Amino acid sequence: MASNNLSRDKVYKLKQKYNSKLPDFLRYDWDKYFKLERQEKWRRTRGIDNKTRLKLKGFPPPVDPGYRKPKIIRYLHPSGLRPVVINNVKDLENIAKSKGEVIAIISSNVGFKKRLEIIKKASEMGIKLANGE
C-alpha cells in the first residue's frame, strides 16, 4: 500500500480534494500580451508596485508554499503507489521486493526492443507498470 498505511482509494480522494483547491497559477498579465499567452508557466512578479506581488485583493494569488499537498500524498501516483523510473530489466529486479508499494514507469529514452523485455519481465514478476501498454 501507500506510505503511512493509506488505502489507494483514500489517496486518490485526497489528491483530488487538494488539486481542486489549487488556483490556476498563470503568469501576470498573460492576457494582455500575445507573446505571454503561449506561456502559461508561472513567473515570479518583481515590479515594485505589482499588485500580485503585494497580494492585494482582487488579483490572482501568487505561488506560495502554503499550497503544497500533505507529505503523505506528495509525489504519489494517482493509484496511491510511489513511482519509480525504470531504464532496464535490472532496475525491475531491484524493486521486486517492494512491488506492492511502487509502480514502475518505463523511461522515455528506452527503445522498443528493451521496452518489450521490461514489460514481459514486469508481468512475470507481478510489478505494475504505469506506461506499459
Convert 66-100 to b/e letters by CB count within 10 Å (16 or more is b).
Answer: eeebeeebeebbeebbeebebeeeeebeebeeebe
Q: Reduced to 3 states, what is the DSSP secondary structure of residue 106?
A: strand
The Cα 21–Cα 51 span in angstroms is: 22
d(CA 71, CA 69): 6
**2 pLDDT band (50/70/90 cuts)?**
very low
Q: Which amino acid is at 92?
A: L
Average of per-residue pLDDT values in the chain? 88
pLDDT digits (tens, 9 = 90+) for 86-124: 999 999 999 999 888 899 999 999 999 999 999 999 999
| Per-residue pLDDT at 7 exceeds 60 | yes
pLDDT at 9: 81
The pLDDT value given to residue 119: 95
**Cα-only R_g, the chain:** 20
What is the chain's length? 133
- Return the pLDDT at 41: 83
Task: Say what the pTM is.
Answer: 0.69
Quick one: cell of 61?
Answer: 494569488
Is 70 exceeded by the pLDDT of residue 4?
A: no
